[in-house]
A and B are shown apart, each in its own frame.
Chain A
């Protein structure tokens, strides 16, 4: 496992101040602490500090107490996940070695590089991920008290925290969107047809989610659960299976046994072998909410070519090998066919010219209404998550603009001149946000703000988005929309 991300994570804790209100019993408040080998007093000190800051800031704002504490070396982020249950994440500021006047190199902490909005979002997301796989804190308390909750926290976070890539977090983590795969109506209906057919052939399957190219096509789950599941699939499950494939551990081609038609389907989450009844079964349970009703489901993931389908089966159902065999027989050939159909359509739709335009501008688009996200700044995040195609300084600017948008309700437009010929434009209209990075030599403000963004290229970009922000385009991109102009860091 890649543990690079763990370097900047100084500490991570979950506590409940109500559990140890008597003096001398402070350790009872502590439910989980990372790193685990830290001395208990140190742990209590960290949570005590957070508790104090939150309590203090409550004096000024009852509803929204402090969410972060900035210090020279670290940043503390607080989040009240459930009532009285607090989560703390301490992140180290980046360090640059600089020579001082005596010629010695000393570390210099860059205090203003980390963005609160990004890491608060990351912290929130650690909670939603926990909730997805382990249920809420309150549920654990009901089921087995503090010990159960502690065990679940330990089980989950001891592994999960290692997969956080904190240095690479940026605006896209703040947004936490779902990227949708563009499809035409007919293909989409075929997928619908496929999903219905499977759901009604297997009564146990309660919900289905369909992804292509690691982008969402259909979700039977509610939006919030899908958001977390999508994050898990694209940042954890898919990369790990791709690694496994590259390492040659699993053959991507299904070895079909006699009598079954040849197909490329296989279980990513399911039995390791369809023929051996003793093979290990890897099917995690997830907790989702339908309306306000909680339900626990088996998560089965099946993949053929670039298409992946999540089948969610009631957790009370005992999964048998026979069930998986029948599922494989039904889904495998059809999904293979469907996936190659989509691939054909996708490749014919892609214009070869688009790569040229990529060099001119990049964008990040986000719609709060459906969480649709699209980024040309990040390239194939799942397969190679570190690949960002623009200088990191620009990502900081994007994060700043986003924080600015979050603090107001009006439609806004912000244009920033960054160093090295880059212009950054952020627009917000109703529930949509668009960030554009332009790299054009000697472009002036009028050019950037003017016709540039109304040109026909945008039509193509929006065509790709599928969630066409037509209104955005019209309402906000006219030349004289009120603009705030910042000059970049110079």
Chain B
């Protein structure tokens, strides 16, 4: 009784806090920048982190196993991982704007988990025998952490692409008017080298400088987070293979979930290989990372919807209870 009440309270606190944080960010974006609110939004995210941690710890204590056995629990773990990723730059004193991506991710995953779509899964259950293993902790937690980091990184790449596309459209629109000060410095050089359309114009308005900084930050941070996510994904896949050898007889069965995890791994390996080439770096790697975003969702959710194969513990059917 206490357990479910506590759980209830914690989920609702975290959900509401995160929604307030998102509202603050939206106000900052659309209306006006209140500097005092920035600190409180950061504190709100820290509160959320503690709430979700509390939720996970309570579930762990009451169930006796790490709360990672079905989709609901893994979603909560995912939002916990997102909130950690959100907090890391804050503690390293890198004041950056990337929290605009990590905070909503936390919010949406937490919201989906607590929403009515998965209520039949909220009840904690006894672990299926095949999952009663030490490997559960390592394999699943590594995979979820890897998913969270890779999702963040690919969202950064999507943001990179959006900002770059908006700029290119603007340049193409105004290619006749060379003196327009909304031109972007290095993009102009890029265009000049490639198409010989524009000349080297070193206009540099302050707005474009900050946009350039943002793009560089997105690129750099995206690569770093994807590197971390790649490490976690590798460890997760390989520990899953070792566990499979112990539990199912062979280390690789071409199970749909395994295969899609491997496909995701391959796509991010392509991402790193593209980044070795200085010329293609940035834009092309961002495209690949954006494809990776879709693949992760297919791997995590799509395969579960099919409900087949050896990974069927996470399968679910979307029932909307009104």
- Are A and B associated in one complex? no
Chain A interface (Cβ < 8 Å from any Cβ of B): none
